[in-house]
Amino acid sequence: QLFFHLQRERSFPEHRARFYAAEIASALGYLHSINIVYRDLKPENILLDSLGHVVLTDFGLCKEGIASSDTTATFCGTPEYLAPEVIKKQPYDNTVDWWCLGAVLYEMLYGLPPFYCRDVAEMYENILHKPLVLRPGISLTAWAILEELLEKDRQSRLGAREDFLEIQKHPFFESLSWTDLVQKKIPPPFNPNVVGPDDIGNFDSVFTEEMVPYSVCVSSDYSIVNASVLEADDAFLGFSYAPPSEDLFS
């Protein structure tokens, strides 16, 4: 998780935050191009692969079938990263993802989400009404993109007119080649140094020390309880990797 590294380092240098923000924006731009709004961008949902490239995960709150001119109104997301229009339960569009990108970029640069407060109700008030506070230590272009992404009026927010194209054109990303970025020709600013598939050095011990539950298809004495081998295979349909049935019970 990006969250793991951000917690450990508190914040990232601007060049590193820029790289991650660009790869995240590319992922969001792709989702928007196929009429999907992501809606739950946060560091916990951003993984790094073995080379250090961004991998977006957890699509449970995605809304499908939302073209650029469409809106939806479901209240969902994570409190720290909710856009004002979501909190106000107003119709919203894919610009909620650009707000979330701004919130994550702010957190990468400063160490906390932009309107963070332990009291959720007060945090919602901050998101709705408090001016954005930007501290010294970042470039003028970083300052500008944060202000434009974290614009409370969604119709004036960066990305409201040309979606991902507006993000690409922003001066904050001027030093990047988007073509090279998409083709993964730009070396990531951080290498996780993964030594093999069983390397758990980049995972928080909170997760690695958890007990591993048995399969839903296997009882504590390893007997098959409620599913045939065929049903066990079906349980994993739609996942990017589904193990052969013999591997489930070996």
Would you name the residues annotated as active-site residues? 40
* 67-104 exposure pattern, b = at least 16 Cβ within 10 A, e = fewer: eeeeebeeeebbbbbbbbbbbeeeebbbbbbbbbbbbb
User: Which position has the token pair 């790094």?
Assistant: 48
Burial of 240 by CB count in 10 Å (0-12 exposed, 13-18 middle, 19+ buried)? exposed
Q: Rounded to an integer, what distance in angstroms lies between the CA atom of residue 213 and that of residue 26? A: 35
What does the chain come to in residues? Answer: 250
User: Which position has the token pair 């590294």?
Assistant: 5
Burial of 195 by CB count in 10 Å (0-12 exposed, 13-18 middle, 19+ buried)? exposed
Burial of 205 by CB count in 10 Å (0-12 exposed, 13-18 middle, 19+ buried)? exposed
